Amino acid sequence: MGATYGQTSAIIQGRAFPPMQSRSITAQMRMDGITVNVIAEDGAIICTCPRQSVRFDDPIGSAPRRATLPDGTLFETTDHKTVESAFGDTPGSIIHKLERLHPRMVGFIAVAIAATWVIWRYGLDILAAGALAITPPQVVDAIDAGTLQTIDFVIAVPTQSTAEERAIAQGVFDTLLATLDDDIRAAHDFRLEFRAMPGLGPNALALPGGTVIMTDEFMRLFPSEDIQAGVLAHEIGHVVEQHGLRQLYRSVGIAVLVALIAGDTVPIVEEILLEGNVLLSLTFSRRSENEADEFGVDLAQQAGYDPAGLITFFDWLQDEMGDTSSWLSTHPSSAERVDRLRALTEAQ
């Protein structure tokens, strides 16, 4: 004992279990040169094998070390020192050394916290971008078609707008699309749909594949091309920035990461983290709205419309709905958005 690895002989006290049997036999492992013998208390040889065929399992804490010998015999010992000196390190020994209680663990905690922040801030976006890149466009189109059917079934009725009203909106939509870069336009299947949605009021919404729905109520209340351009450009922004799918991938990513990292911890921690995830996804949602606002103002202006159109819409929304936004909302408050947009349009 106490010799360095490479020694030619060693005796390790322990016990042996015959292959696939629970019978425990007090035994010792003797290493002589290139041969290893496992010998029972009464001197009977249980197993003989070449030294290089003996592989001890990775050490974990101070639990007994185990080696399964070529004939299936299991040898177990608590003599960690001799196993290490006679058979050396296993691939997992590095981890075992890392795990030893040591002041460096304060550093571990710091790195873990920093890495969590980096993953949350950048990692999820990168993962979502990767998933977006390999999403087949057919699936996205199918999501649009299916969602539109559901909307028709649940909340929408066929449009009662006049052909004239539709022509105005379609004209604005086409002008905005013509302003987009060719490759961006080609990447999505842009389409404007008209529906009456009494439950939704004056509004427009975008589906991930490029279908934009405008309500009759919106066209009636806001015949102004500038306002329509502001709102439609905002919806086009959601499509181009792929906010819908991105959010879907982000939430799957967070759910999996939380399960993998906190899964082994007390169940309550996982619940708290997932609840926190809802709040985080709301932040993401508000961020998306702001991004779409910026995109929309830009696009509307490039297409030759008054970028203040969107502001007029939000002013109206604020008067109508009041301001109730907070960290529990999917959208930033209208007042906040108007302020941001004013700053944006004035800067241009």
* 279 makes contact with other proteins (CB under 8 A): no
Smallest distance, Å, CB 153 to other proteins? 9
Contact 241, 279 (CB under 8 A): no
* 269 makes contact with other proteins (CB under 8 A): yes
DSSP one-letter code for 56: B
In sign, the C-alpha dihedral spanning 9, 13, 18, 20 is: negative
* 178 makes contact with other proteins (CB under 8 A): no
Smallest distance, Å, CB 165 to other proteins? 29
* 123 makes contact with other proteins (CB under 8 A): yes
DSSP H/E element including 145: helix 137-154
Collapsing DSSP to helix, strand or coil, 33 comes out as coil
Indicate the pairing of strand 25-32 with strand 35-40.
Answer: antiparallel
Contact 127, 249 (CB under 8 A): yes
Which x/- pattern over 188-227 shows residues binding other proteins (rule: CB under 8 A)? --------------------x-------------------
- Nearest CB to other proteins, comparing residues 65 and 286: 65
- Nearest CB to other proteins, comparing residues 52 and 62: 62
d(CA 336, CA 319): 14
Contact 222, 242 (CB under 8 A): no
HSE value, Cβ hemisphere, 13 Å, CA-based, for 12: 28
d(CA 302, CA 282): 30
* 121 makes contact with other proteins (CB under 8 A): no
What count of other Cβ atoms lies within 10 Å of the Cβ of residue 141?
17
Listed ranges 21-29, 188-196, 230-238, 304-312: which one lies at the site for other proteins (CB under 8 A): 21-29
* 129 makes contact with other proteins (CB under 8 A): no
d(CA 189, CA 186): 7
- Nearest CB to other proteins, comparing residues 35 and 265: 265
Tokens of 87: 């058979």
Tell me the backbone φ, ψ of residue 321, rounded to 5 degrees.
-100, -20
Which member of 93, 135, 277, 285 binds other proteins (CB under 8 A)?
A: 135
d(CA 200, CA 150): 15
DSSP lists the bridge partners of residue 268 as none
* 98 makes contact with other proteins (CB under 8 A): yes
* 23 makes contact with other proteins (CB under 8 A): yes
* 20 makes contact with other proteins (CB under 8 A): yes
Smallest distance, Å, CB 63 to other proteins? 4
Which member of 266, 328, 343, 347 binds other proteins (CB under 8 A)?
A: 266
Smallest distance, Å, CB 317 to other proteins? 21
* 62 makes contact with other proteins (CB under 8 A): yes
Residues near other proteins (CB under 8 A) are: 17-25, 60-64, 66, 74, 95, 98-102, 105, 108-109, 111-112, 115-116, 119, 123, 127, 131, 135, 139, 142-143, 145-147, 149-150, 208, 245, 248-249, 252, 256-257, 259-261, 263-270
